[in-house]
Structure 1
Amino acid sequence: MSGALSWPFLRLYLLVLLYFSANSILNVIIPLKGDSLGATNSTIGLIMGAYLFTTMFFRPWAGHIIQKYGSIKVLRIILIVNGFALILYTVTGLGGYLVARMLQGVSTAFFSMALQIGIIDALPEKDRSQGISLYSLFSYIPGIIGPLLALGIWQGGMEYFAVVMIGIAIFTGVVGYSAKMGKQEAQTATNNSEQGKNMYHSFGHLVKNPSLFTCSVLMLVGSIIFGATTIFIPLYADVIENGNAGIFLMIIAGTVVFSRFTLRKKIPSDGKWHPGFIMGMMLLLATGTQCVSFAINGGASFFYAGACLIGIAQALLYPTLTTYLSFVLPQVNRNVLLGLFIAMADLGVSLGGVMMGPIADMSSYSMMYSICAGLGVIMIVFIYFRRNIING
């Protein structure tokens, strides 16, 4: 095999799989633990959102620091921080969970930027979308088994929670410390002083650059919907007849993995803007979220159908927008600008908990998901009116 499926890249994808395994478990355990301790949806959303809010804050600097010091050096330090965070979950309560989520956020900012920048730099343009899609695919594979494993741990009394977290920390560290990035390591270790000078100036590109602005708005709103789905499904499933949070999250993750692998060659990798394709993804997302909302009356069939539609949209949206930006952003500060874009995804998932939690407290989970579906419809209109602003 060659290109995005060559052995060096498969080894990096394995590291991605191990790294994100913990989150697939924590995404179920933390809401259930918080609910059992009497925490409100607002509090649970804050704790869950702290992870990617911290990631968002550090991600623009991650691109610059990786450029300066090299991917491997940064990666090894970050794996230590991640291991400490996972161990912290095993010895603390909700207050410690908040600190651990923030530590995870810092490590994820650097981890994901190091690997994605390496993939973009090392692959030829025709394989770039496949590499980014496969990176995202392997980050979702743990979501197939993780939710069911988490429910098993929860129902079994949490005796194995510490063993699983420590085991993941150790295996991730071993694989990460033996990873090699070859050519891209040499590239990222160069001292690009121009990028450093322009890092703060790059924040203005979020508004000034029409491509970056449009993609960032879409990723922000899409991630708000994804975040609300992930965070509150473990609690919403309890009021759905025949609903099961583990099965729902497993369906989403399985759909993401299947779609990203089978449709990876369909993701545009030509550097052009495809508004019809992206409008279709947002329509799937809005429809799927509305199915989840209607499940309170329609039952489990709508619940799980929504999971399939959301999974397809989630599989395609991120790699499509990331690949497009990798072509059109200026080379001199591309890493920082990509970091800003990915930070919008992080912020969206965080806001999915922080904003939607109070809405669920004041109304209901069903109403909250209807509001999310409405946001998806607004994005379809947004794409339509900006279809001629981006040249591609």
Structure 2
Amino acid sequence: MKQFIFIIVLISFIDMFAQLPIMSPFAKELGATPALIGLAVGMYSFTNMFGNILAGYWIDKHGSKKVLLAGFFLTGLIILLYTVVFTPWQLIAVRFLHGLFSGFLVPAAFTVIANRGKEGKQGKSMAVSGVAVGISAIIGPAFGGIIASKYGVNWVFISIAIVMLVIFILSAFVIPDTTKQITRKIEPPVKTLVALLKNPMLSISFSGAFSLMFAQGVLAYMLPLQVDSLQFGTQYSGILLSTFGITAIIIFALPTNRLFDRYQHQNTMMAGMSVIGIALIFLSMSTTLSFLFICMVIYGTGFAFLFPSISAMLVKHTDLETRGKAFGLFYAFFSLGVVIGSSLTGILAVSFATGFSIAACILFANTLWTFLYFRSKAGVTESME
């Protein structure tokens, strides 16, 4: 069961990562202008946010299994539509639907993981699931690029769609249905979402998700420009990104994953944000290839501490009736961070050094805010005693 859930998370993220190297060239082949290419690429993340939020509500109402099955089935069918698009606007329409329905997958998958996790072991559980995310980040782009170059871009979509539909069938038999454990009284969606946002611990988790993916969006946009400006080979952009992913996977998979339950989640969260911020500052000053690799190892270490911490914090402060919506919001903030991080640096037309510095400041500011919150909370507790 654990291995199958690992595969579910892996496939859910490969769907996103495999399209990264092929979507812009695909849109260009259809005759899209630069503006339409940007719209086509960004549309997925934009509608993915709404899919995450809708999924969260339906998970708590109908159970994570049903939403997961719907996500795999609908996403598999929508991906097949890429093979019959002939204009940029048709592509944008498919991207709209793809982002919306694939938004069901990740909140549902992580809700399944969270509901099956043992009390007090949420950090380790989320760290292990982070291995799947890291592996998909490494093999997804390579898979998309290799299949597209050898067999054509349509076979990327066909192969992913087939895998999605196979996982849909297997999930129907393997994933247990936990709907019975959920109280049927469901509050109005907007009211519940507002209540979740007002929860201080969940707000800290959401802000951590946004900060992490804001930095990720800046990194994805700026690192290739930096590598190009330093006149290194373009292949090093992918190798550097893989370095951070491999570093994170090693920390997730080794006994170091016990640290996420040994220390308070907010402490490992602040450590992770600080380490990523330091890595970004170093990146802004990097002029040699060896130092870039060192920076990405540092970045991967920070990512490995931050991701499980904010996920486990969410699990700890939710229950079966609210966890789905909480994960939906959580991954909506993920998508929002990527969209704002990459688009803001593009709109401002800043240098890679400035872009990395902006992202670092966001992380340091969030670290400071989190530290001050828990310090004031501790002060209130002491005064009451």
Q: Per the shorter chain, which TM-score range?
A: 0.7 to 0.9
Cα drift, residue 95 of structure 1: 4.0
Cross-structure match for 1:71: 64
Cross-structure match for 1:274: 266
The one-letter code sitting in structure 2 at the alignment partner of 1:65 is W
Counterpart selection for 1:350 from 328, 339, 352 = 339
Cα drift, residue 174 of structure 1: 0.8
Cα drift, residue 336 of structure 1: 1.9
Cα drift, residue 51 of structure 1: 2.4
8 Å Cα contact 2:226-2:352 kept in structure 1: yes
Which sits farther off after the overlay, 169-178 or 86-95? 86-95
8 Å Cα contact 1:49-1:349 kept in structure 2: no
Cα drift, residue 381 of structure 1: 1.9
Which sits farther off after the overlay, 224-233 or 109-118? 224-233
The one-letter code sitting in structure 2 at the alignment partner of 1:229 is L
Alignment pair present for 1:167 and 2:148? no
Cross-structure match for 2:369: 382
Note the 1:1-392 alignment, pairs <5 A.
Answer: 8-31=1-24, 46-92=39-85, 94-152=88-146, 156=149, 159-179=151-171, 185-188=176-179, 192-194=183-185, 196-243=186-233, 244-262=236-254, 263-268=256-261, 272-275=264-267, 277-295=268-286, 298-329=287-318, 332-359=321-348, 362-389=349-376
Cα drift, residue 198 of structure 1: 4.6
8 Å Cα contact 2:73-2:165 kept in structure 1: yes
Cα drift, residue 282 of structure 1: 1.3
Task: Name structure 2 gaps, 5 residues minimum.
Answer: none
Cα drift, residue 34 of structure 1: 6.5
The one-letter code sitting in structure 1 at the alignment partner of 2:337 is G
1:305–1:28 Cα change, 3 Å: farther
Cα drift, residue 170 of structure 1: 0.5
Distance between the aligned counterparts of 1:128 and 1:193, measured in 2?
25
Cα drift, residue 323 of structure 1: 0.9
1:48–1:301 Cα change, 3 Å: farther
Secondary structure of residue in 2 paired with 1:57: helix
Secondary structure of residue in 2 paired with 1:238: helix
Secondary structure of residue in 2 paired with 1:387: helix
Cα drift, residue 45 of structure 1: 5.5
Cross-structure match for 1:3: none
1:38–1:371 Cα change, 3 Å: farther
8 Å Cα contact 2:182-2:321 kept in structure 1: no
8 Å Cα contact 1:31-1:232 kept in structure 2: no
Secondary structure of residue in 2 paired with 1:192: coil
Cα drift, residue 28 of structure 1: 2.5
Distance between the aligned counterparts of 2:120 and 2:173, measured in 1?
20
Cα drift, residue 98 of structure 1: 3.5
Distance between the aligned counterparts of 1:379 and 1:368, measured in 2?
17
TM-score normalised per structure 2: 0.84
Q: Which deviations, in whole Å up to 9, do the C-alpha atoms of 1:256-278 show, x marking residues without a partner? A: 222211232211278x4533x32
Distance between the aligned counterparts of 1:315 and 1:52, measured in 2?
23
1:357–1:99 Cα change, 3 Å: farther
8 Å Cα contact 1:129-1:264 kept in structure 2: yes
1:81–1:124 Cα change, 3 Å: same
Cα drift, residue 212 of structure 1: 1.6
Distance between the aligned counterparts of 1:378 and 1:20, measured in 2?
29
Distance between the aligned counterparts of 1:299 and 1:89, measured in 2?
40
Coordinate RMSD, CA, aligned: 3.1
Q: Which deviations, in whole Å up to 9, do the C-alpha atoms of 1:337-383 show, x marking residues without a partner? A: 33223322221122222322212xx2333322221122222223222
Secondary structure of residue in 1 paired with 2:301: helix
Distance between the aligned counterparts of 2:5 and 2:276, measured in 1?
29
Count residues in correspondence: 374
Give the % identical residues. Answer: 23
Cα drift, residue 89 of structure 1: 3.8
Cα drift, residue 38 of structure 1: 8.7
Distance between the aligned counterparts of 1:357 and 1:327, measured in 2?
37
